[in-house]
Amino acid sequence: MVPMANDYIKNQTKSNTFYEGSGWFGELVTLEPMDGFMLKSGHSGTLTYPAGEPIKGISSGNSDNLQLRPDKGLKPENYEFSGQITASVKLDGKSFDSNEYCLFSIVDGQIRGVSRGMLFEPTRQYVYNHLTYSNFSEGDTIRFRLYDAVTDNWYAFEESVVFNADMLIANAFEPFKLERSHLLESSVSLSSSIEIWPNPMSSLATIQFTISTDQPVLIEVMDYSGRIMDELELGIKKAGQYVTEWDTRKQPPGVYFIRLKNAPSVYKKVIISR
């Protein structure tokens, strides 16, 4: 299959788009065995990838040189769905001619995606081939922050996107524009949050939670009337993001609420089914 304009391929962490006259653009260099991929194409055939063509846009900088603070360790494998936003960034009306900037997508204080600027040769503009993640197929409001490694400054943008699984928003010729920004403190401010999957569930469930301060962590399981049916005591944790498991088999089927004890407004509605 000869690739055509707007053919798109991704794995869990990287993606590429084919542009007519320019070729593949992105960070996905090879297709490794046992690695899952998704291909979107308007025609059928057998794809040979990348068919001897160099992949354009791969960041030449070393991402380890970026002091991404705080180091929260985004783990795409914790999320069921992903979607792509191809974005451009301006601060005070000025575009960037460097890849020493890092774009973050944020949902309820959680980091959901990280990318660096890549030069798109046809326009000579730096764009962000940005994958972002969710455990809900639609509905999360995605906001954006930019880290400047040279000045150690963070910027927040007013523009936002509503997540849909496997969404493809904009492209390198006409990127999604992030332009309305303001300066933040030199950190990513995370708020307390909790997520759980699968949902509905039948046996074991994964709980991912974020706490904004060092604190003892107690996760409560309540039934529909508010009675506490189970508790997970996890000890004192430093501010950050964590994952734990919950054995639901000792609870009867029904509707439950999972709550962080020290953040009573942070909870999730879940269903246990057999």
Residues 57 and 162 in one domain: yes
Residues 71 and 143 in one domain: yes
pLDDT at 60: 39
Q: Are 11 and 125 in contact (CB under 8 A)?
A: no
Q: What is the pLDDT along the chain (274 residues), one digit of tens a residue?
A: 677 888 888 988 889 898 988 888 888 877 777 677 888 887 777 777 766 565 666 553 333 333 443 334 577 887 889 999 999 998 877 776 666 788 999 887 778 899 988 899 999 999 999 999 998 899 999 999 988 877 778 888 999 999 999 999 999 999 999 999 888 764 555 567 888 988 899 888 999 888 877 789 999 999 988 899 999 999 998 877 788 999 999 999 999 999 988 765 678 889 999 7
Q: What is the CATH number of the domain that holds 207?
A: 2.60.40.4070
Q: What is the CATH number of the domain that holds 114?
A: 2.60.40.10
Residues 165 and 215 in one domain: no
Calculate the dihedral angle through the C-alpha atoms of 158, 159, 164, 167, rounding to the nearest 10 degrees: -150
Residues 146 and 201 in one domain: no
pLDDT at 64: 38
**Within a domain: residue 107?**
yes
Residues 92 and 168 in one domain: yes
Question: Which of 17, 12, 58 lies closest to 37, judged by CA?
Answer: 12
**Within a domain: residue 225?**
yes
Q: Are 39 and 31 in contact (CB under 8 A)?
A: no
Range of the domain at 250: 193-272
**Within a domain: residue 173?**
yes
**Within a domain: residue 2?**
no
Residues 126 and 157 in one domain: yes
pLDDT at 191: 66
Residues 129 and 163 in one domain: yes
Residues 25 and 114 in one domain: yes
Dihedral pair phi/psi, residue 268, rounded to 5°: -130, 140
Residues 36 and 109 in one domain: yes
Question: Which of 41, 132, 11 lies closest to 83, judged by CA?
Answer: 132
Q: Is the dihedral of CA 169, 174, 180, 186 positive or negative?
A: positive
Domain boundary (167, 184, 201) is at: 184
> With b meaning 16 or more CB within 10 Å and e meaning fewer, what string describes 50-67?
beeeebbbbbeeeeeebe
**Within a domain: residue 58?**
yes
Question: Which of 176, 173, 183 lies closest to 161, judged by CA?
Answer: 176
* Number of domains present in the structure of the chain: 2
pTM here is: 0.65
Residues 159 and 37 in one domain: yes
**Within a domain: residue 267?**
yes
Residues 160 and 197 in one domain: no
- The tally of CA atoms less than 13 A away on the side-chain side of residue 140 is 26
Domain boundary (184, 207, 241) is at: 184
Dihedral pair phi/psi, residue 103, rounded to 5°: -100, 130
Which helix H or strand E contains 88, and what residues bound it?
A: strand 81-91
**Within a domain: residue 1?**
no
Residues 160 and 220 in one domain: no
Domain boundary (130, 159, 184) is at: 184
**Within a domain: residue 3?**
no
How distant, in Å, are the alpha carbons of 62, 72, 97, 179 from that of 90? Answer: 22, 25, 11, 5
